[in-house]
């Protein structure tokens, strides 16, 4: 598979805090990648650098081989990078349908008819069809998470960045979200998923990365990465058993 996203010698600091330190990474078309790491490792900030919410100090972010320097978040979304946020950010005074419609029109660049069609299809995929006319501000946590995911999917991303969409959910709710993410993967989207609910990643991704202090600590087959002594020391704890992975 050809490379879709390339991070080349990416560096970012906030004062003395190192977020990315000469970080390089390639994600191929249709690939599903999970990211784990200790709190403060810079995982969410990395998404900001990819999506254009933050500027890099040095290095390059490339999509399809084209350097995205100077392209803001809106432009990168139009080019195929969609993302969610840890804390859902719906337009609370709009309905669920209107939230997804705005994403399809403004983020995906679709015209009136196509955006309506895309919004309806995405709501069904996210299992929100029955809540289409509810105000977003009235939704519970699971539905807010689904709406956050639906808005990202409505932009027609080629690269989907998921930031802890399973956090705070019950086991059955996590299973439902995993099914939705698998559907996106089956459509050919590349997915990068930051998640502390490790079992959700292990059930979904084909590649796992551990990030700490701005560096890639491990990158490979999920089961092997989880067993890596460096990962267990930094993230899971040296004596943590795989069956007791924190959720």
Q: Are 194 and 35 in contact (CB under 8 A)?
A: yes
Q: What is the pLDDT of residues 6-18, one digit of tens each?
A: 999 999 998 888 8
- Averaged pLDDT for residues 78-94: 95
Q: What is the pLDDT of residues 107-165, one digit of tens each?
A: 999 999 999 999 999 999 999 999 999 999 999 999 999 999 999 999 999 999 999 99
Q: Which residue has the higher pLDDT, 225 or 235?
A: 225
User: Where exactly are the structural domains of the chain?
Assistant: 1-79+209-247, 88-159
Q: At what angle do helices 171-186 and 141-154 cross, to 10 degrees?
A: 10
Q: Which residue has the higher pLDDT, 124 or 235?
A: 124
- Averaged pLDDT for residues 19-24: 90
pLDDT at 235: 65
How many degrees, rounded to 5, is the angle at CA 184 between CA 182 and CA 186?
70
Fold designation for 1-79+209-247: Rossmann fold (3.40.50)
Q: Are 106 and 185 in contact (CB under 8 A)?
A: no
- Averaged pLDDT for residues 216-236: 88
Q: What is the pLDDT of residues 170-224, one digit of tens each?
A: 999 999 889 999 988 888 899 999 998 988 999 999 999 999 888 899 999 999 9
pLDDT at 236: 56
Q: Which residue has the higher pLDDT, 44 or 214?
A: 44
pLDDT at 238: 40
């Amino acid at each position: 598979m050809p490379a879709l996203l390339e991070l080349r010698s990416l560096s970012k600091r906030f004062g003395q805090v190192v977020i990315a330190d000469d970080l390089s990474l390639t994600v191929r078309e249709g690939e599903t990648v999970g990211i784990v790491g200790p709190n403060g490792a810079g995982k969410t900030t990395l998404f900001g650098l990819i999506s254009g919410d933050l500027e890099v100090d040095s290095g390059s972010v490339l999509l399809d081989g084209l350097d995205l320097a100077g392209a803001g978040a809106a432009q990168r979304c139009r080019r195929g990078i969609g993302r969610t946020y840890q804390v859902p950010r719906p337009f609370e005074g709009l309905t669920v349908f209107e939230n997804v419609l705005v994403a399809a029109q403004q983020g995906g660049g679709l015209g009136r008819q196509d955006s309506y069609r895309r919004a309806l299809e995405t709501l069904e995929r996210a299992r929100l069809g029955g809540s289409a006319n509810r105000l977003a501000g009235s939704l519970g946590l699971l539905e807010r998470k689904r709406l956050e995911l639906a808005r990202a999917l409505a932009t027609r991303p080629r690269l989907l960045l998921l930031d802890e969409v399973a956090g705070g959910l019950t086991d059955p709710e996590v299973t439902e979200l995993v099914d939705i993410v698998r559907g996106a993967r089956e459509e050919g989207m590349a997915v990068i998923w930051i998640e502390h609910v490790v079992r959700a990643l292990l059930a979904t991704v084909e590649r796992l990365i551990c990030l700490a202090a701005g560096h890639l600590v491990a990158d490979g087959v999920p089961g092997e990465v989880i067993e890596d002594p460096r990962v267990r020391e930094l993230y899971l704890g040296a004596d943590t058993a795989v069956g007791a992975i924190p959720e």
